[in-house]
Chains A and B, each alone.
Chain A
Amino acid sequence: MAILETHNLAVGFGQGSKRTVLLQGLNLRLEQGRMVALLGRNGAGKSTMLKALTCDTMPIKGSVVIDGKPSTAINKRDLSRLVALVATERIMGGAFTIRELVALGRQPHTGFLGRLSRHDNEIVDACLEAVGITHKAEQHVANLSDGERQKAMVAKALAQETPIIVLDEPTAFLDVASRIETMKLLHKLAREQHKAVLLSSHDISQSLLLADELWVITSDREVITGSTEQVVMSGAMDKVFSDTAIMFNGSLCDYEAQLPSSVAVKVKCDDPVLERCMVNALLRNGVAVDDDSDKAIEIKAVDNIVLPSGDVLSSVSEAAQRLATIN
């Protein structure tokens, strides 16, 4: 059974006559043990949708059902034990230690004064351990790197002991190493702790590698869902941006720019890494690559490019100039 479902949900912002519906007719299913990546361009409605799913905003139409109950029938305290949030907002908690920050995640379970029991402390320890930040537990949040801060927020979410964790762009502002580490961590939590993890992201390559499912918002405000491989093969990724100068490259698992070119060639190369580097170099020098072209060039090394004429050139820019004149 899905832990979170939506039925004919419409999301948007504003009220009354100024109301804007961003997405509608959403029938989504979020299951425990799986990680879902919500992809879409800026302004597509990712955050708006997450706010509706975490019940920060009321649905414009339709319903959100969490753990079998419609969200409107769940009180705040129960909700805080069902859905944990990691948002993009900067927090004013610089003078909290990591442990204190993570302990705030216990609030849905503690009493009126928020005192931590021994059980609560054990859970906080386990959450610090799970995200690998135990060694920094007594340090202040202000002294952490962005990646460590994000881990601490994930640990806070874990401490809430909710079946669902929702993260709004958890890897924004992170360098590639922290991005990969964070995504791996979330994937591990889905698998090992049986959490339903829903995150929005612009990190296409990591999402395609680690997400079990994709929810893709297309440029015409349609939401395409399914397993990652299904969604990629359906061609949904091509519909994210309306701009034709940006195309999804399935073999790269990422988007790439379409650059203007005056000539197309076929490339022969034995080393796939070298081939990729040289294809990029050709593209930015105005040479498109087309396997159906009758003009073939052979690449033996970075400085060893054999043109169709048999001439050997030592740089891509030279080769590109020569190819343009052949045309």
Chain B
Amino acid sequence: MNVQDLYAISPLIVLVTWATLLILVDVYIIRDRNGGTPILAALGLLVAMGFAIAQTGQQYTAFNGMAVVDGFAIFLQVLFLGSGLVGIALAYNYLQRMGIERSEYYILLLYSISGMMLMAIAADLIVVFLALELLSIPLYVLAGFGRPKVEPEEAALKYFLLGAFAGGFVVYGIALAFGATATTSLAGIVQAVNAGSANLTLLSIGAALILIGLGFKVAAVPFHMWTPDVYQGAPSAVTAFMSVGAKAGGFAALLRVFVSALPELAADLSPVLWVLAALTMILGNVVAIAQGNIKRLLAYSSIAHAGYILMALVVFGNTQVSSDAVAAALFYLVAYAVTSFGAWAVVIALEKAEQKGLALDDYAGLGRKYPGLAAAMAVFMLSFTGVPPTLGFVGKLYLFRTVLEGGFIWLAVIGVLTSLVSAYYYLRIVVIMYMRDGDPQVHAEPWLRLTAGVTAVATVVLSLYAGPLFAWASQAVLKLF
């Protein structure tokens, strides 16, 4: 324990202290909900982001190898903090409009983000587990934030029961991995495997259980059942944050654990991941076609995108390709985050109380009445599909490239074919917006407009400068300690 250890987790310390003090400030000072808490929370995120960015380019382990600061950690921490800022922007007017304005939203958001950030720096399975729960438990509460209504409560209970179930798998998987290698440190597991002192069968079973648990978190088929109901029932601002933050947190854990600690198990686990990725892409995209509710459609879309990111994980055992794969996965996470937040901003703008304004038909006529919003939504849908010039296209390009380099040609073929299938339901929304007549009612509050506008511009412009962004992601590849 020394000063460098504390410096390693300085963004986390800032964020957790900020959130804890915000509870006291909220209880004692801000009593009339005049919007002070969201601004303070956003400020905390910015300060923490400053601390995170200040560590750029450094690489060291802290707390006896329990935590590691590297490009991967910093990249993801900035992504999480940024998604927290968008989460606040999306909620700022939405919570008021829905009559569920409580400052706990922002505090829980900060705690959840601190869990995700802990996940990014985790170098020990104990920390991975703690981070997983720290990011999940606030999200369970947030999912039920719209109470007392039936839908959010059902969503919260479902999310909670399946999330806790997944947590049980992760715990038991970690226990078996500990049994196989006598250590919970990721570096220690690599050493034990290389020294031949590990029980590889037990380690494989443990890794498979961890994969199941994290598969729930990232909504990979066949562990995806909760996703549509939870995404539909939770308040949309929470869903937006959940679909980006929780997924990215789960993938942070998957990438860190599998790529840096378990490459020796690739012979056993790569085929499993192959099947998971293929199933996730196929089922997510095919079932999404049948959806008439925009929140359920985006839920299945998020399942499908989890499948695309899982493709990067399939090559985790191939050390020549795996660093490229991690970079491609990180890039795709950013592309998905930007596009997804934009799409959710539009959904929130159209949503009305009592789960109204969420049908696809409610988007009819948007193109004529609100051309700006409709154009933004069209950009997001094209990006989800993977049409140039958007971030989604570049992200898929990098992903498919690494998969081909890894020699999984059929997986790439499935990825391309399912993208074609997805064009049907994404472009249907565009068609409804522009071709049909209707009278959509929109609450385009300034923060929603700003979010939708900025993400739409970013989706297009960043795709034109994708090279530098990908280079940054490539620097963020995992080092094997």
Co-assembled chains A and B: no
Using a CB–CB distance below 8 Å, which chain A residues touch chain B? none
Using a CB–CB distance below 8 Å, which chain B residues touch chain A? none
